[in-house]
Amino acid sequence: MRLKEIFDFDTCMITLGLATLVVQWRWQETDASEKSLVPENLKIAGQVIEQPVAPEWEITFPEGSPYQRLQTPAGLRYNPFLEVRNISIGFAGNYNWADKERALDALLAQHAGKDYLFVLQQQVANEMLRRELFFHYYQDPTDENMLEGIAFYTELLIEARSEDTKLLYMCLRVLQNHWPKEKKARVAGLTLERVAERNKASAPDTTTAPGYYRQVYARELARVGGVNPLLANHSQSLAVSR
């Protein structure tokens, strides 16, 4: 009887041990699959997740753009609009933001000349400004490298024809004493003209929070850019008249 109890106990422990190994193996398998979502390089980045997602930040699209839902461009086997997010995940916890910037620069170079480049430019600018440069700038507002970086991505937003008045206002506030007034006025003026033109072409968004704040920051952008406030008022008057 005693031997049977020992045998049953040993059998139970062996079974428990095997079950533990199976659970551990499943955990390892899950960890491996989760890590595979983090890109090792740019080639992997777009192949991990192929389903389009909603933009993380405000992105300006031309009227009728086929990329407004971040669909995979025709002829590609992966979605390039997911690569910025995957690069961000891949560099999470890496405090040397220059490494991330190099990866993002390579991404833009890889898709240079494509008709969807403007989407990537806005995604990259948002990633670097919001997650890296603003944070480091406010730790040391005298750091010239931070100011130059913010200036670069401000220009990138203008090149991409961004109408994100809030983000551009934030940039110009930082660059208030770094850029000459003519350059600040150019950035503010171009942005406000684009917002006004869009409001002419289609009914402006005044019912959602992003639409409301776009109009609010249009006024602030005009102020910090030192341009005629009528530009901002014009974009808002179009909204009211509709």
**Alpha helical stretches, state H, the chain:** 2-35, 42-45, 83-90, 97-110, 117-128, 134-139, 144-159, 165-174, 181-201, 209-225, 229-241
Residue 32 has a pLDDT of: 35
Residue 85 has a pLDDT of: 94
Reference 59, options 205, 191, 160; nearest CA is 160
pLDDT band at 117 (very low <50, low <70, confident <90, very high): very high
Residue 199 has a pLDDT of: 77
Return the percentage of the chain with pLDDT > 90, whole number.
57
pLDDT band at 204 (very low <50, low <70, confident <90, very high): low
Q: What is the mean pLDDT of residues 126-150?
A: 96
pLDDT band at 35 (very low <50, low <70, confident <90, very high): very low
Task: Give buried/exposed letters for 172-211 (b at 16+ CB in 10 A, else e).
Answer: bebbeeebeeebbbebbbbbbebbbebbeeeebeeeeeee
Domain regions of the chain by residue span: 1-35, 38-161, 163-242
Return the percentage of the chain with pLDDT > 70, whole number.
69
Q: What are the phi and psi torsion angles at 141 (to 5°)?
A: -65, -10
Average pLDDT, the chain: 79
- Rounded to an integer, what distance in angstroms lies between the CA atom of residue 229 and that of residue 37? 47
HSE-up of residue 223 (Cα within 13 Å, Cβ side): 8
pLDDT band at 200 (very low <50, low <70, confident <90, very high): confident
Residue 27 has a pLDDT of: 39
Q: What is the mean pLDDT of residues 54-60?
A: 88
Q: What is the mean pLDDT of residues 79-89?
A: 95
- Rounded to an integer, what distance in angstroms lies between the CA atom of residue 71 and that of residue 93? 29
- Rounded to an integer, what distance in angstroms lies between the CA atom of residue 79 and that of residue 49? 8
Is a pLDDT exceeding 80 seen at residue 210?
Answer: no
